[in-house]
Amino acid sequence: MIERICWLILAAIHFLPALAFLRPAGMTQLYGITPDNPLFLLMHHRAALFLGVFVACVWAAFIPDGRRLAVVLVAISMVAFIALYLLNGSPEPLRPLALGDMIGIPALIYVAWAAFRP
């Protein structure tokens, strides 16, 4: 039960960025990028990738067979962003996103342990 809750916490962390794929106006709210900015397309694609991470987390919550792959996918997403955020001077506008990922690290550690334990 704890494992399922952790997966759903990880899904929740990725929900808003994933929702931006279906509702592109959300990218302006999340990232301050308007549709006339050339980076808007790139961020829209990024939202599609977050939708994949979200789906993987929900899937892993209910279907154990994909948990190891989901751990790797979520870890790459979260750890890479936190590392890039810290290595680039912790830009203030991205702080809420970094904090969201940092809050999810304990859940990620737990599901990783559960997925890879002998």
pLDDT digits (tens, 9 = 90+) for 36-45: 998 999 999 9
Number of helices followed by number of strands (H, E) in the chain? 5, 0
Task: Reply yes or no on whether the pLDDT at 30 is more than 80.
Answer: no
Distance (Å) of CA 101 to CA 80, 98, 106: 10, 5, 10
Q: Name the amino acid, one letter, at 117.
A: R
Of 22, 21, 113, the C-alpha closest to 67 is: 113
Q: How confident is the model at residue 118 (pLDDT cuts 50, 70, 90)?
A: confident
d(CA 20, CA 100): 16
Q: Residues 25-54: what's their mean pLDDT?
A: 89
Token output for 30: 């999340």
Domain with 55, as residue range(s), is 2-116
Domain total in the chain: 1
HSE-up of 103 (CA within 13 Å, CB side)? 12
d(CA 93, CA 63): 36
